[in-house]
Amino acid sequence: MEDDHFSARRLKRLIMDIDDTIDVHGPLKSVAEVTEELAANNDYDLIFSDIRLADGDVFEAFRMLMPQSFVIFTTAYDEYAMVAIKNNGLDYLMKPIDADELRAAIGKLRLNRNAQQSAVVSPLHGVLNDTRQYRERFLITKGDELCMLCADDICYINMYDNRITAFAVDGTSYPLPM
């Protein structure tokens, strides 16, 4: 999102120098174009955005439709930093863009993405690697006799008032020891 042709070309060249596998779209030059694009496609990995566009500031578009991705703001104005943070701002780079600062900002995205993936994947590994053994039979009293109740014959188990009761598929109930 950049209304200045030369700034957009320079930013694209810097991005490609850092990582030529990054697919760069745009530039979008106005609030209207940004709003239209976000309405049609809001699943970018990362957005680079100037603050002031041809017909207003980019935050006007973000008020209508917040991007789902992180945004690296690239601007000549330093007074918007706090607003940028509240609008998915991952970094705030002052023009002219320094290649090392841009590299560090892109690195932040990779760190955030890895952290998000770990937060999702780690609990799944725990579930998938769960090898706990569950009881297949329960020792119950049936009248004066001790009997085995198979887990497959249990419809559900209820705990109420410090008592555990197994309800069998056939409708009978059996107290279970704690």
Q: Looking at the predicted structure, is the pLDDT value of residue 162 above 70?
A: yes
pLDDT classification of 117: cutoffs 50, 70, 90: low
Mean pLDDT of the chain: 85
Q: Looking at the predicted structure, is the pLDDT value of residue 13 above 90?
A: yes
The domain spans of the chain are 5-127, 137-176
pTM: 0.62
Q: Looking at the predicted structure, is the pLDDT value of residue 131 above 60?
A: yes
pLDDT classification of 102: cutoffs 50, 70, 90: very high
Residues 75-95 have pLDDT tens digits of: 888 888 888 888 888 888 999
Does the domain made of 5-127 have the CATH classification 3.40.50.280? no
pLDDT classification of 3: cutoffs 50, 70, 90: confident
More confident residue, 73 or 143: 73
Q: Looking at the predicted structure, is the pLDDT value of residue 127 above 70?
A: no
pLDDT of res. 136: 86
Question: 31: number of CA atoms within 13 Å, CB side?
Answer: 14
What single DSSP character describes residue 126? Answer: H
Q: Looking at the predicted structure, is the pLDDT value of residue 170 above 70?
A: yes
CA distance 104 to 158: 55
Separation of first and last alpha carbons in the chain:
64
CA distance 25 to 27: 6
Least confident of 5-14, 45-54, 65-74, 127-136: 127-136
Average pLDDT over residues 140-147: 84
pLDDT classification of 145: cutoffs 50, 70, 90: confident
pLDDT of res. 31: 92
| Residue found by looking up tokens 């329960």 in the block | 138
Following DSSP, what letter does each residue of 70-89 receive, concatenated?
EEEEEES-STTHHHHHTTTE
For 109, counting Cβ atoms within 10 Å of its Cβ (0-12 exposed, 13-18 middle, 19+ buried), the class is middle
pLDDT of res. 116: 55
